[in-house]
Amino acid sequence: MARKVKRRSNIFSQVFTLLCAVVFVYSSYSFVTIYFEYKHNREVLAEAQELYQPTNVQENPVSLRESFEDLQEINEDIIGWIQIKDTMINYPVLQTTDNVYYLDRNYKLETSRAGSIFADYRNDFSKKDRHIILYGHRMKDQSMFQQLTNYLDEDFFNKHRIVYFDTLYRSYDAIVFSAYKTTTDFDYIKTEFENDESFATFIQEIREKSHIVSDEVVTEEDQILTLSTCDYSLDRDKGRLVVHAKLIER
């Protein structure tokens, strides 16, 4: 009887040890895989940063600006650039016919966990849309739109009010006036408004939601830029972190 108990104990111990080894190997593999994915993403974006040459010169609004010529040779979906001082946000902006394609692809069209920063497919950059929306993931290595969370800190908010936003046709200083957490139940990504009054109402709604009060004047005559990323603190699937800014053409 004692031998059977001992044998069972040994078998259980061996199985447990094997399971631990499998879990360790799998965890190590996953960690290494993610590490190299992050590393590759940083390298690919660094290549784009070398190709992009910002300029404040306003050219013909229906012709391509020189800043983007080299990048467009790689991918014609590159329609802009966004940069925020003292953050890792210094990236090309892409746009295609939906809001899904670049969730898991970089600007070289490679499969990427980090995806790309991309514009809402409804925006038309050859025109002066009232509301331009950019989306991006929040990566654990602080890349993509992870550091937008800094705008919930009052000191950072006040010191980093200007977001540099460049497009194929125009360049802007975007002045941040609102930042908050919400869910997709609130329609903060409207691109069509019935009239000036409905746009003014929308601006008032997003101002009131802000975690930090701003004295920036924003009216229905302004263009606004919205930066959107996920936020898991409110809801795993529907939670969002949102930053709004007023666009001032350079």
pLDDT in tens, 95-143: 999 999 999 999 999 999 999 999 999 999 999 999 999 999 999 999 9
Give the phi and the psi of residue 39 in degrees, each rounded to 5: -60, -45
Task: Name beta bridge partners: 166.
Answer: 81, 171
Ranges of residues in the chain with a pLDDT under 70 are 1-36, 56-64
Query: For residue 58, what pLDDT is reported?
Result: 53
Sorted by sequence, the CB contacts under 8 Å of residue 55 that are 6+ apart come out as 65, 66, 67, 171
Half-sphere exposure of 196 (CA within 13 A, CB side): 5
How many residues would you count in the chain? 250
Query: How many angstroms separate the CA atoms of 46 and 228, rounded?
Result: 23
Give the phi and the psi of residue 15 in degrees, each rounded to 5: -65, -45
95 touches 119 (CB < 8 A): yes
Query: For residue 7, what pLDDT is reported?
Result: 60
Sorted by sequence, the CB contacts under 8 Å of residue 209 that are 6+ apart come out as 178, 180, 182, 186
Query: How many angstroms separate the CA atoms of 244 and 179, rounded?
Result: 6
Query: How many angstroms separate the CA atoms of 81 and 89, rounded?
Result: 10
96 touches 121 (CB < 8 A): yes
Q: Is 230 a catalytic residue?
A: yes
Query: For residue 28, what pLDDT is reported?
Result: 43
Comparing CA positions, the residue from 190, 163, 164, 189 lying closest to residue 176 is 163
Query: For residue 54, what pLDDT is reported?
Result: 81
Strands, DSSP E only, in the chain? 78-83, 90-94, 117-119, 131-135, 162-167, 171-183, 223-230, 239-249
Q: Which of 37, 96, 230, 235 is catalytic?
A: 230
Query: For residue 65, what pLDDT is reported?
Result: 78
Query: How many angstroms separate the CA atoms of 247 and 224, rounded?
Result: 5
